[in-house]
């Protein structure tokens, strides 16, 4: 069996469907369906079972998780960068991750997990070193703390471990994320509703809409996960997963407008509540990822947005 936590969420559900495409359906999806709207992400997926994450964690802690487990893809987390309930965030993102990691280490189960580029905060250096870690929100801190925990434990762990610092992921099955969904999704809806993509005015030394992020298509993220699944002998560690190139929000808006064949850009004032808590620039340093032999290619925004929005019509 393969376990996918967060399997009804954005990246997790895409991973489940990719495993199905390989003919794999012996999958346990672990998630929190308190927001039942996420069910649509796995409604057509082939899975063996579903379990609420708290029940799953309890079974791990009681030593009741039996059977042969081929791998754990730990994609589940609270990904809301505006969440400030520290007890909740650390319980879901840190303690759950720690317990699952230790279970996999003890049972020699490959453990592939989601981290985040939020660990880098507002910095402009994106190599996977502790010196570059400076989170500016609680979500980023929870991911940083777990990455550091994994780093400390790696010398004593013999089973495969790979953590992925996802940059700005976009693509199908993110509709449930609300304000945390990608700008490509929001721009698409804005063009459909009003014909206008609303972008932030200049901030952080960048011009209107020229703030730059490393936007990475979800299929490419899934491909990296599966590459490490296929190559369990690769070096254990924490790796950046992004396209390796920054593109502006204007680029995303133009790609959305090009797809629809209509629309225009409108700049709105930068929100006061995001001052000091906003990444104006990200760009994945892929050197460490490439050193493992991982040769997954990454789509440009122009190609990825066209594929994404095309899929919404299916």
Provide the annotated active-site residues. Answer: 139, 177
44, 100 Cβ separation under 8 angstroms: no
Beta bridge partners of 169: 216
Closest CA to 120 of 278, 248, 300: 278
H-type helices in 70-212, by residue range? Answer: 86-90, 96-107, 138-153, 183-194
Which residues have CB under 8 Å from 59's CB, separation 6+? 51, 65
Beta bridge partners of 5: 30, 74
242, 166 Cβ separation under 8 angstroms: yes
- Burial (0-12, 13-18, 19+ Cβ within 10 Å), 277: middle
212, 281 Cβ separation under 8 angstroms: yes
Positive or negative, the CA dihedral 20, 26, 30, 35 is: positive
27, 5 Cβ separation under 8 angstroms: no
CA distance 205 to 211: 9
CA distance 158 to 140: 27
- Burial (0-12, 13-18, 19+ Cβ within 10 Å), 305: buried
């Amino acid at each position: 069996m393969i376990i996918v936590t967060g399997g009804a969420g954005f990246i997790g559900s895409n991973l489940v469907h990719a495993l199905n495409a390989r003919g794999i359906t012996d999958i346990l999806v672990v998630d929190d369906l308190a927001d039942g709207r996420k069910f649509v992400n796995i409604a057509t997926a082939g899975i063996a079972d579903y379990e609420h994450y708290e029940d799953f964690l309890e079974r791990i802690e009681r030593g009741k998780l039996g059977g042969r487990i081929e791998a754990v893809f730990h994609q589940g987390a609270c990904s809301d960068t505006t969440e400030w309930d520290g007890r909740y965030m650390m319980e879901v993102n840190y303690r759950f991750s720690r317990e699952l990691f230790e279970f996999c280490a003890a049972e020699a189960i490959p453990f592939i997990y989601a981290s985040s580029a939020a660990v880098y905060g507002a910095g402009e250096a994106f190599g996977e070193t502790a010196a570059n870690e400076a989170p500016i929100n609680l979500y980023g801190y929870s991911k940083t703390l777990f990455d550091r925990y994994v780093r400390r434990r790696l010398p004593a762990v013999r089973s495969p471990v790979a953590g992925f610092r996802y940059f700005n992921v976009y693509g199908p099955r993110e509709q449930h994320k609300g304000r945390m969904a990608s700008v490509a999704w929001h721009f698409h809806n804005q063009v459909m509703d009003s014909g206008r993509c609303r972008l932030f005015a200049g901030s952080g030394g960048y011009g209107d809409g020229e703030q730059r992020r490393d936007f990475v298509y979800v299929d490419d993220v899934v491909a990296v996960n599966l590459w490490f699944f296929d190559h369990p002998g690769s070096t254990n560690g924490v790796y950046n997963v992004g396209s390796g190139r920054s593109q502006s929000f204007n680029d995303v808006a133009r790609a959305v407008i090009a797809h629809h064949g209509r629309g225009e850009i409108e700049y709105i004032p930068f929100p006061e509540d995001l001052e000091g808590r906003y990444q104006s620039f990200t760009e994945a340093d892929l050197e460490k990822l490439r050193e493992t032999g991982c040769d997954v290619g990454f789509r440009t925004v122009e190609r990825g947005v066209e594929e994404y929005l095309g899929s919404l019509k299916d």
